[in-house]
Structure 1
Amino acid sequence: MATIKQIWAREILDSRGMPTIEVAGQLDSGQIAVFSVPAGASTGSHEAIELRDQDEDRFYGKGVLKAVNNVNTVLAQAVLGKDPSNQEEIDNILINLDGTPNKSKLGANAILAVSGLALRLGAIANNLTLYSWVLSLMKKMGITVYTKIPTPIFNIVNGGLHGASNLDFQEFHIVPVSFKSYSEGLRMAAEIYMVAGNKLRQKGAIHSVGDEGGFAPNLFTNMDALELLVESIKQTRYGLGRDVFLGLDAAASVFYKNGSYQIKDKTSPLDKPAMLEYYKVLNDQYHLAILEDPLEEDDWEGWKKITEMLASETIIVGDDLLVTNPEKVQKAITEKACTAVLVKPNQVGTISETLKVIKLARENGLKIVVSHRSGETNDWFIADFAVGVGADYVKFGAPARGERVAKYNRLLTIESEISAYLKQNAS
């Protein structure tokens, strides 16, 4: 039996220049693993709480030295000598040490650091790739997972809190058709991204990229961004509706103010019925494959209505609505409020709780979309995790910026490994 011999954490920077936690651990065999914690910009109000220092003299209060100290002291001491193969046992220790429903005492970022590290150490101890180890944990929970690469949802234009504030919607996506190989889909996205960048330069409308690598252009309306994607796809060899579809992450809670939705496409604020009609018009015109967070995160009645309206052709994804929380996922299942759950381990705080949410969603017919956060590092953990849980889709941002490309390139490696394994077993 392998045991955890050492754990040590430090403060590093994420892709936005914000502090986050990196943690390393050593087994009694001497083998070492490293894990780093992502963070979101657009966060649901019901997410587990990450611990920040609130010291205005360091990183304007955004430092994580308190969380790092919690890892190096109370959390590390509690799991030293434990077998990392027992993921749920370790996670239960972490949860009980914190003792709050939202992990606000020790910090969800500190807790996830140790939980994620334990997962990596467990894979090493069992001489498995990380995705194979996650798959084995799913099997122990009674969920059969077929090893495949999830369909990627590529973020081409960033708006909202992730990019240009003149665009209300947070992410404008392209989604390759699922029968394309992953490597074909990645090439497709990279080529469309190149064309979109050139078109924006020709318009004089490009000035930066957003948090997730998508362009943050000087466009005036959400429809302008969608039309940019349509025009870019037309300029390639690919067909819209044949090879690739469009998708949106509205992150509607951000532009929901004083009881109405305020978007620049409309001169007046929209009430719920008007916003629902707006999405219907968008969907009729663009045939969206994915629509994430279309309404305010606590408007369950509205979510039920939009799912009833659009779910026959569009996947309705709950992120801020669900925040990877099992109680909220169960409510969504009961009320038929969405058809897919966005999964972010740092929203709930431990690997075991995340796996339980995936199990619940899978058993009740919801699609699984495993996602990065806007504040990322070059850690590609989430790519292995997505393959291991048998996710239907992944969201890792644009095919640009190192912290995004690290995940996409890791999926290329896994695709090659799966292909080699299948060929070997077929001969």
Structure 2
Amino acid sequence: MEPGGRRRREQQQRLRRPRQEAAGYYRDHRVPQRMEEALNALFPQRPADLYGELANYFSKFSKAPVICKLVGRKVLDGLGQPALEVEIYCTVKNYEKRICSTVISSHSQIPENALPETTEADEQGRNDSVNTAVEWVNEPLNTMLRDLEPTDQCKVDKMLGEYFTKKLEEKKELQKQEEEDAEATLALTSCTPSVTSLPGKKKAAKPGKKGAVAERMIPPAEPAESVLCGSLAIAGTSLAIARAGATISHIPLYLHIALLKHDQDSPKEMTLPLPMVTLLNCEKISPAKLKLVKEVMLIPPVQLSLKQGIERVLDIQKEMMRLLDTPGEAPNSQAADSRKGKAHNTGKKAPPRALKRISHLGCLITGWDNLEQPLLLMQTACNNIGLELGTDVYLAINCAAHELMDYAKGKYEILTGTFKSPDEIVEIYVELINKFPFIIALIDPLRKEDRQQWSDICCALGSKCYLIAEDAATYISKLKTDQNINVPMCSGVVLKYINQTKVSDLIELTGLLDGQRHITILGSPDGESSDDSLVDLAVGVGARFIKLGGLSRGERVTKYNRLLAIEEELAKNRTLREANLEFIAFAEESQSEKQLSDVIPPPKQDSLPPQ
């Protein structure tokens, strides 16, 4: 026998043996005929990675991954404040595997001008809340969610909601018991109970006071909603499960959220939210006089891609920094008319130099002496680089009016020593927008309690700019009352994913906002981490704007980079739809006692000025 023929027969037997062994093994174990045929077809093809091909094929028939472990730990956010990290481990093909993790920052509503002891107490409270949240994740939530599929978001969120409700009831029972004990102790020591009031809030005037007291009859501030210690675990776990579900399904998080919102019906096109990029943070406790403005933000036009819009904002930012470094080149403040003469410093004084530090919002910190100074400087910066406000870029102003109210006087302190009633401040905004029509959004122009003035300003300016409620929309759990939105009349709200918020809550609320013709803005909390899930949430729920802060600090820039990556991916897949900005003309009649859903007529759409 020729040596060559023997070698050929041995080689054929070696090639035939694994095929025969595999076919015999699976036949003995009663594998379906189609699997055997698939195996027979694979071996003659000789794939480069035979075992990888087999693994991919049989993975289709493996058991769906289930949650096997949750790990919570305390980490730090961009401000060095405590934050919660939640890791998800799943059993995948009989092996424990780390799927993903999310970081969620604790939220604070302490204003900039808070007393040191108030700030210290808030920091201690946030620290305790994160520690409790870590305990919740590692013990009860870890046991409760074990063996659930991470793709079943509704079931997971329902269980998280039931757990939170249970904890909330336990807290109420404990508080009730403490109050009963305190009343019993007080009854033994004194027969006259003390009357308590909210610190800093003006009590209702009593009969017999002077006529001037009538000006101070404003709606009192609603008490801040108490946050259950540890509630951060609910939001962190829900978001981590959503990210795990997207990872298991091999799709990006924003598409996973969109599928959840549209009942697994994949959208043919998606729109990116327009960024509200913070350019200046105007400190209300700075030596300058202006208090009415907290943030000055830029909004690129819809005709530009996000990448082009960010580049344009960066050009304006560079020119602004140059002007602030050379005060002599900055425009002088023009004299105000007679109506605003008392509210502004009318002298030709150059704006203060920018302080050489970056705000926690990722932008320059500076101060101003009147409302026109930053707007005129912005106009000069744009003109210097060949841009025009109102055509090539728009402005938005965050007023944070809830931080301005002097409850002793019942008025807003818009400048140092200058106070205006809620009705007067509405007139100031009307005059401001008429004079500077490139301002297309006012955020928190009034307190949420001034519902009549919200109605007035919406009727006066609703067709010219967006009137956005942020402070009134901090807690998603309070926004929804049955099928209505429990906020003053406004164009839209800023939603923040914090505390006990769940992904299902956010999806449900944004659907309700869409149905009632509100616009949705997703905003980042003050203490922000480098986790970029917020961007995917905004894209997935179809938010109109996203408010991320400035283009500095890593925790802020990370989210802008994620937004750019999503734009590139959608453009590549040809599923990117151009955004559309339209204002709503509100009813002329003010009905402050009704909710927005009851008073808005079918909207009359007015487009922005042509580009």
**TM-score normalised by the chain length of structure 1:** 0.88
185-194 or 340-349, which deviates more: 340-349
- For residues 102-138 of structure 1, the C-alpha deviation after alignment (integer angstroms, 9 at most, x for no partner) is 7844533121110110110110121110111011011
Compute the displacement of 1:324 (Å). 5.0
Question: Structure 2 CA distance, aligned partners of 1:361 and 1:323?
Answer: 15
Distance 1:174 1:208 in 2: 20
- 1:139 and 1:38 map into 2 onto residues whose CA distance is 28
Answering whether residue 272 of structure 2 is matched by residue 209 of structure 1, we say no
- Relative contact order: is structure 1 or structure 2 higher (C-alpha 8 Å, sep ≥ 6)? 1
**Correspondence for 2:433:** 283
Letter of the structure 2 residue corresponding to residue 20 of structure 1: A
Q: Give the 3-state SS of the residue equivalent to 2:161 in structure 1.
A: helix
Q: How far apart are 1:231 and its partner, in Å?
A: 2.2
**8 Å CA contact retained: 2:287, 2:367:** no
Deviation at 1:374, TM superposition (A): 1.6
1:11 aligns with 2:78: no
Residue in structure 2 matching 1:234, options 338, 362, 383? 383
Deviation at 1:277, TM superposition (A): 0.7
- Aligned residues of 2:279 and 2:364 also touching (Cα < 8 A): yes
CA gap of 1:108–1:302, structure 2 versus 1, over 3 A, is: farther
CA contact (8 A) 2:233 2:499 kept: no
Given that residues 159 and 165 in structure 1 are in contact (C-alpha distance below 8 angstroms), is that contact kept between their aligned partners in structure 2? Answer: no
**Residues 104-253 of structure 1 mapped to structure 2, 5 A cutoff:** 104-105=227-228, 107-140=230-263, 146-160=269-283, 166=288, 167-168=290-291, 169-203=293-327, 204-253=353-402
Q: Residue deviations 1:276-325, cap 9 Å, x none? A: 01111211122211111110122222211111111101011111122353
SS in 2 for 1:80: coil
Deviation track 1:237-260 (CA, whole Å, cap 9, x = no partner) reads: 321111111111111111112121
User: Which letter maps to 1:361?
Assistant: L
Q: Which amino acid aligns with 2:102?
A: F
Identity of aligned residues (%): 24
Which has the larger Rg?
A: 2
Change (3 A) 1:296 1:391: same
1:316 aligns with 2:439: no
Could you tell which deviates more after superposition, 103-112 or 344-353?
A: 103-112
1:323–1:348 Cα contact (<8 Å) kept: no
Q: What is the CA–CA distance in structure 2 between the aligned matches of 1:213 and 1:280, rounded to whole Å?
A: 30
Cα distance in 2 between the residues matched to 1:347 and 1:282: 36
Which of residues 443, 463, 467 in structure 2 aligns to 1:292? 443
2:162 to 76, 85, 96: 96
Q: 2:491 aligns with which of 339, 343, 357?
A: 339
Q: Is the 8 A contact 2:283 2:365 kept in 1?
A: no
Contact 2:232 2:499 in 1 (8 A): no
SS at match of 2:498: helix
Aligned pair partner of 2:101 in 27, 34, 59: 34
Moved more, 123-132 or 98-107: 98-107
Instruction: Compute the displacement of 1:356 (Å).
Output: 1.0
C-alpha distance 119-160 of structure 1, shift in aligned 2 (>3 A): farther
Name whichever of 177-186 and 152-161 sits farther off.
152-161
Question: Which runs of 5 or more residues in structure 1 are unaligned?
Answer: 45-53
Q: Cα RMSD (Å) of the superposition?
A: 2.8
Provide the C-alpha distance between the structure 2 equivalents of 1:160 and 1:329, rounded to a whole number of angstroms: 33
Tell whether the 8 Å contact from 1:212 to 1:397 is kept in structure 2 after alignment.
yes
Pair 1:335–1:103, CA change in 2 (3 A): closer
Cα gap change, 1:347 to 1:282, in 2 (>3 Å): farther
Question: Could you tell me how far 1:60 is from its partner in structure 2?
Answer: 4.7
Deviation at 1:327, TM superposition (A): 5.6
CA contact (8 A) 1:25 1:121 kept: yes
Instruction: Give matches, 1:14-93, under 5 Å.
Output: 14-29=77-92, 30-42=97-109, 60=124, 62-63=126-127, 64-93=130-159
| Deviation at residue 11 of structure 1 after TM alignment | 1.2
Give the secondary-structure state (helix, strand or coil) at the position aligned to 1:289: strand
Aligned length: 412
Contact between 2:83 and 2:106, CA under 8 Å: does it hold in 1?
A: yes
Aligned match of 1:375: 527
Q: Retained in 2: the 8 A contact 1:341–1:366?
A: yes
Q: Is the 8 A contact 2:106 2:126 kept in 1?
A: no
- What amino acid does structure 1 have at the position aligned with 2:274? T
C-alpha contact 2:473 2:487 (8 A) present in aligned 1 = no
1:269 pairs, out of 419, 424, 447, with 419
User: TM-score, normalized by length of structure 2?
Assistant: 0.63
SS of the counterpart of 1:370?
strand
